[in-house]
Structure 1
Amino acid sequence: MTRTLAFPAAAPEAAVRYFGAELGFEVDPDDLVQDLEAGRTDGYVVVETRAPEVFALARIPGAINLPYRDITAESVTHLDRDLVYVCYCESTVCNAATKGALKLAELGFKVKRLSGGITGWIAAGYPVEGAGITERGIRCAC
């Protein structure tokens, strides 16, 4: 038997539940950039969960900065609870987006995470705002 099939594939019904649930938690950069470029921003807010100093250097256009360490019931009173908050951080090796999404969810907000973070966003050639990436490049800073 091949390694690929060492564990049998799930039944189609189970795969629908699993992959459908996964898509409820994440959005990919291509879907997000297409929405942003088409002006389809109703219903969600893009949230950078790293520190303010790296947010100032490079961020997804229109994103707000909510460092995950600062998310409390008091710090999010201004947020609209009817929106979905799409959290991102540095990359797949940084979990600030996961921590931020968890904190927001614990406070009753609907959340998703952007796959690949800003590193994946930039690698795909998508636009960024900010003062400019330094010679150190994109870093976690969470």
Structure 2
Amino acid sequence: MAIRISRYVLNGIKSLSADAAPREACGLLFGEGATIADFSVTQNVAANPHRHFEIDPAALFAALRAERRGGPRIQGYWHSHPSGDAQPSITDGAMAAPDGKLWAIVAAGEVLCWRAGGEGLHGRFMPVAFVEADEPSV
């Protein structure tokens, strides 16, 4: 079953990724069930943001606290590969917890989605089909 990702989210992460190049952009994906309706951009605090990404822990903890108080559910993460393709890198595989979260990767204007688990590409990622949804952010 394909997940639904709002056009607002897809356009937003593509635009932010292009603006951040040659650095990797990153952030969080929010939604319910099989729908991603919103996103945030976070600071990339990686030691080498031209080759890696690390979501700012303060932003992640704030989103987790908000979720516990009834705020938007974190469904996954997004980041860009400004000089690569939209497939997870070996480093992505080493960083990803096998928690079932969605990873959206943006490269060359393309978005591909992956589910972090205990198998698949780099022993961690299974591809996830998605459809673009018309509804705006919630």
Same fold at TM > 0.5: no
Bigger helix fraction: 1
- Greater strand proportion: 2
- Return the TM-score normalized by structure 2: 0.30
| TM norm structure 1 | 0.30
- Greater C-alpha radius of gyration: 1
